[in-house]
Structures are given as structure tokens and as C-alpha cells.
Amino acid sequence: MCKTFEKVASEVNVVSIRVFALAYLMHKTTHVFPLLGVRNIEQLNENIIRARNQRLVSHVLKAGSSLKPTHIVHLPIRGEPLAPRAMSTTSPALQSHASLVEFGKRHVTKGIARQVEAVIEKGEGSYITLGDGRTMLDFTCGIAVTNLGHCHPKVSAAAAEQCMKLVHGQCSIGFHGPYLELIERLLPMMPHKSLDSFYFWNSGSEAVEGAVKMARAVTGKQNIIALQGAYHGRTYGAMALTKSKTIYSEGFHPLMPGVFTAPFPYWHHFSLPPTTPASQLTSLCLNQLELLLQQQTSPKDTAAIIIEPVIGEGGYVPAPPEFLQGLRKICDRDGILLIVDEVQSGFLRTGKNFAIEYSGVRPDILTVAKGLANGFPLSGIVSSRELSDKLKPSSMGGTYAGNAVACAAGVATADAFKEENILENVNARSKELFGYLEPLRSSAAVLDIRGQGLMVAVEFASPTGTSIHDPLRNPSAPAKMASRVSKRCQEKGMFILTTSAYEVVRFIPALNISKEDLKKGCDIFVEAVEEIVHEG
């Protein structure tokens, strides 16, 4: 380190250094170099990096100088990443991580819950870096979104390139290239060849809303059957179909009318043990559905049944193929449309392009989002042309629907799936994941380990169960295992989410996660489980 700088910095007389640095930036004069004890701009940059590393920026700002933080932050600095450091905002009041978090807590609605009171600064592959300097292994993928890892270079590059060409090519004005190119990429990925008509929107909830509108419009019927434990989103129509937790609709009634609920083949819903055969659960559920159609909503009034082939927010439970096949038969018999919601389970997540492929069932309408564009807001409603041709022009649309940048990201995502053999990685890592988790089955605290591909869950026993009537209640099990394990993993450097009204932790790592990172995450998880069980 240059002597003069060291001396000045040690005296925390950094204000003058900043003033000289700013003077250089503003007047582009090299006269200030001798005063700063540096020979050239490179040396000045290095010294500024060191100063920032020593958290001296805040001294400068606090000193009330007229320096704008942006002048410093935007210096063409090179060098190692800084941690913890000044944040790249434009406001002097928000320059420390703590001040940003405080600002967020004060001004971001209480209606949004968070895993961690921190600012997510950067994402790269399976890792995210927080503003407090921590780098975390991410087993959440932003809730099953960044399937190719954060900021996949090809996806980000495609989006950046599209940004300079066309950002907003409004879908009611005309086609745009990435929209059509994305359809071209998705056509061969569809779980049935009849699915050849697309409409893109922004979020999963909007896709569900679009699917419901379409089902009502083309059948001329009103009622929709959703399944217990389902999650289809938080907008009004989607919220009415969401049956995983009351928190999503509490206080927001009345909801969209015409929604009925049938049981999903999850042993919990019948207070049966996890070992209950799929065939038994399938018969129970199909029989209940038939009763529903006889007692509550006639097939003549029922437009659609909507189902997630793997319920996500309801506990990461795959539907048995025979159940899905049974639904298809009932729909065909009664002229009801089958909407398959693959917003969370789609795009290779379960070890197939789409989870519905495990059953061979044809969806009438497929909803997709999340992994479609690896983080860019984009969703899709897919059906046969025969169905979508029944829609009146202008009955669908939306200002930002099928944004050009998001579609370009979607094209790059689909290309990367193929070029990088992602499906192979999913299936190889999935085997390893189940291998790491399998020994936990012998623990009395663990009720079930289940899932497909890299959409996997561990369910813990609960001392309270759902109520005193719950025969699966285990009074000796540790309380609130799922949230405690998730929190402990966080303390150990990994984000992992809980799910459902039960004690479930879900694994949703990036689909291109390395062998090493998968093992690292599993080691953290197993260690956390052992600790919590020990603590009781």
C-alpha cells in the first residue's frame, strides 16, 4: 500500500482523499496524483478499494462532504469483491446494509414475509450474496424460478441484448420475434402434441386466471374444482383456487364464486399413515370427486378441474399417475376441461420436461411460469388451437404480457436446457439427493421423504399434528421442526424453504447444481436436523 495513503487512512483523514479523488473525476486532472501519493489512476483505484474495504466510505459520507456516493461507487474500480461494503444506491441515507434493511422494514409492506432481514445483492449459480457480506448456498431458487442458477450467463446475455433491440413489443399491437421464437422452442417440449396454442403473461397467478377465463368461455360453464392443498396464486381468481393455507385468503373474502374442492391423494388429508398405498388414496379421492359431482357441482355446471401434478405449497406431494388418469377419464366423460398447473413443477424440475408426463395424461390447458425464463417475469397458458380458437379477440391481453426481454430470456433458457444436458443432471443429482436423505427415514422425527427429480421434501413429525384428532400426532417429536431446521440451515449458510400446513422442508436446488454443492447442502441439512432433534 502506498505510504501516503496508509498514513492518511490511519488518521481517518480520508475526507481529503475523497475530495482529491472527486476532483480528479470531475476535472480529469492528474495534478492531484502527487497530493494523493499515487502515480496513476490504477493506483488511485486500488487505494479506493482498500479504503472501501476498511469501511471508510461511511466516514466520508458522515463527514457531510458534498461528495455524491455515486461518484465513488461508479469509479471504474477493479479488484476483489468487497465485503461488507457501501451499497450501490444513489441515496447517502442508504449507504450501509443496516440502513437499507431498516429502510426496507419501514417502507415495504408488512404483508410480505421474508426469510432474512437482509438485502440480496448478487446471485451467481447456486449462491446468493447478501449485503451483510454472507454468501449463501441457495436451495430455494427464488421458489423454483432460477432453475439454471442465478444470472445464467447465456440467459442474462440474451436479455441484455434484447434490451438494446426492443423492450416492449405490446402483444395487442403486433407479434415480436422473441415471443414467436419462444413458442418455437416450447412446442417440442410440450407434454402432448395437441398443446400448440400459446399466450404469455407475467406471473403464475395470471396464467391461472387466464386458464380459468378460457375454461369458462369455451365451455360456457362456470364452476371450477380445485384440490385440497393446492396453490394457484394470490390474485383474486387464483386465490379462490388456493387451498394450501388460509393465510392466503384470510380477510380477503368474498372470493371468486363457483369454486369447489376435492381431496388430493395425500395421506394426511385422510389421517392415514405415509405408507398408505397410492392405489388406496387414488380410489378414495376419485370416489370423493364423483360424489362432489353428484352432490355439489353438476358436470353440466363444471367447466374445469385444476390440478398441480405435484402439489407445491401443499407439501410437495406427487399425484399418483393412476389418479391423474382417473381425472382425465372423468373429464372426458363429463365434458370438463383438465387444467394442469405446472407453474412450480414444470421445466425439468421433476426429472421430465413436465411432471404430468409421469402419467401420460393430456392436459386441456397447461399453465407455466417460474422456470420458463429463469427469473424474468413470464408465464404462459397453453392449449390446443381448437380450444383457443373459441376465444373472442381482445378477451385476453395485458399491457406487459409476453414482454420481449422476458421472452428472449425464455428462449435462452430453453436452449440452455438442451445444450447443457440439464435433464441428465437433474436425474443424477436427484438420485444422490434421495441417497443423502434416506438414512433420515429411520429417525422418529421424520415422517416421510418424497418427491420427483429435484422437487423433493422431507416431512417431520409434529407433537400437535393438525389437531387433537390427528392420529399422526407424535407428542415426543420436537415442535416446529420444519421452520427450526430451515432457520438452522440459514445460520449454517444455506437457504431452504418450508412448505404447507404440515412440518415440511422442501429441496428446490438449481437444476444444474454441482455434485459438490448438492452434497454440501445435504450435509448442512442433515446436521441441522440432528441438532434440532437433539435439542428436542
Ligand X SMILES: Cc1ncc(COP(=O)(O)O)c(C=O)c1O
Q: Which residues bind ligand X (CB under 6 A)?
A: 143, 203-205, 208, 231-233, 308, 312-313, 341, 343-344, 369
- Phi-psi sector, 60: left (phi>0), alpha (psi -120 to 50), beta: alpha
Q: Among residues 155 and 368, whose Cβ is nearest to ligand X? A: 368
How many residues make up the chain in this entry?
536
User: What is the closest distance, in whole angstroms, from the C-beta atom of residue 529 to ligand X in the complex?
Assistant: 25
User: What is the closest distance, in whole angstroms, from the C-beta atom of residue 207 to ligand X in the complex?
Assistant: 7
Torsion angle defined by CA atoms of residues 305, 311, 312 and 316, in that order, rounded to the nearest 10 degrees:
180
CB 337 within 8 A of CB 331: yes
Q: Among residues 57 and 343, whose Cβ is nearest to ligand X? A: 343
CB 215 within 8 A of CB 365: yes
Name the nearest CA neighbour of 487 among 525, 460, 522: 525
Q: Among residues 96 and 344, whose Cβ is nearest to ligand X? A: 344
Q: Among residues 293 and 355, whose Cβ is nearest to ligand X? A: 355
Query: How does DSSP assign 460-501, residue by residue?
Result: E--SS-SSTT-TT--TTSPTTHHHHHHHHHHHTTEE-EEETT
Name the nearest CA neighbour of 269 among 302, 243, 295, 297: 243
Q: Among residues 147 and 344, whose Cβ is nearest to ligand X? A: 344
The residue behind cell 436479455 is 159
Q: How many CB atoms lie within 10 A of CB 271?
A: 14
The residue behind cell 444506491 is 89
Dihedral sign, Cα of residue 132, residue 138, residue 144, residue 146: positive
The C-alpha atoms of residue 151 and residue 178 are separated, in whole angstroms, by 19
Name the nearest CA neighbour of 409 among 94, 167, 85, 130: 167
User: What is the closest distance, in whole angstroms, from the C-beta atom of residue 495 to ligand X in the complex?
Assistant: 16
User: What is the closest distance, in whole angstroms, from the C-beta atom of residue 330 to ligand X in the complex?
Assistant: 21
Q: Note the Cα 179 to chain centre separation in Å.
A: 22
Q: Among residues 20 and 198, whose Cβ is nearest to ligand X? A: 198
Which three cell numbers, joined as nine digits, stand for 473?
400426532
Q: Among residues 369 and 528, whose Cβ is nearest to ligand X? A: 369
Give the helix ranges, DSSP H, for 397-480. Answer: 404-419, 422-437
Which three cell numbers, joined as nine digits, stand for 426?
437433474
Q: Cα-flanking dihedrals φ and ψ of residue 443, to 5°? A: -80, 135
Q: Among residues 100 and 378, whose Cβ is nearest to ligand X? A: 378
User: What is the closest distance, in whole angstroms, from the C-beta atom of residue 343 to ligand X in the complex?
Assistant: 3
Q: Among residues 343 and 387, whose Cβ is nearest to ligand X? A: 343
User: What is the closest distance, in whole angstroms, from the C-beta atom of residue 488 to ligand X in the complex?
Assistant: 24
Q: How many CB atoms lie within 10 A of CB 175?
A: 11
Q: How many CB atoms lie within 10 A of CB 452?
A: 19
Amino acid making up residue 247: I
Q: Among residues 129 and 205, whose Cβ is nearest to ligand X? A: 205
Q: Among residues 96 and 202, whose Cβ is nearest to ligand X? A: 202
Closest-by-Cβ residue to ligand X is 204
Torsion angle defined by CA atoms of residues 218, 221, 223 and 227, in that order, rounded to the nearest 10 degrees:
-40
Report the 3 state secondary structure along 13-43. CHHHHHHHHHHHHHHCCCCHHHHHCCCCHHH
User: What is the closest distance, in whole angstroms, from the C-beta atom of residue 340 to ligand X in the complex?
Assistant: 10
Q: Among residues 72 and 343, whose Cβ is nearest to ligand X? A: 343
Query: 3-state SS of the chain: helix, strand, coil percent to 5?
Result: 45, 15, 40
User: What is the closest distance, in whole angstroms, from the C-beta atom of residue 348 to ligand X in the complex?
Assistant: 16
Q: Integer distance in angstroms from the first to the last C-alpha of the chain?
A: 52
Q: Note the Cα 75 to chain centre separation in Å.
A: 34
User: What is the closest distance, in whole angstroms, from the C-beta atom of residue 308 to ligand X in the complex?
Assistant: 5
Name the nearest CA neighbour of 316 among 480, 160, 441, 454: 454
Q: Among residues 248 and 260, whose Cβ is nearest to ligand X? A: 248
User: What is the closest distance, in whole angstroms, from the C-beta atom of residue 32 to ligand X in the complex?
Assistant: 52
Q: Among residues 65 and 235, whose Cβ is nearest to ligand X? A: 235
User: What is the closest distance, in whole angstroms, from the C-beta atom of residue 297 to ligand X in the complex?
Assistant: 22
User: What is the closest distance, in whole angstroms, from the C-beta atom of residue 246 to ligand X in the complex?
Assistant: 17
User: What is the closest distance, in whole angstroms, from the C-beta atom of residue 124 to ligand X in the complex?
Assistant: 23
User: What is the closest distance, in whole angstroms, from the C-beta atom of residue 366 to ligand X in the complex?
Assistant: 12
CB 380 within 8 A of CB 367: yes
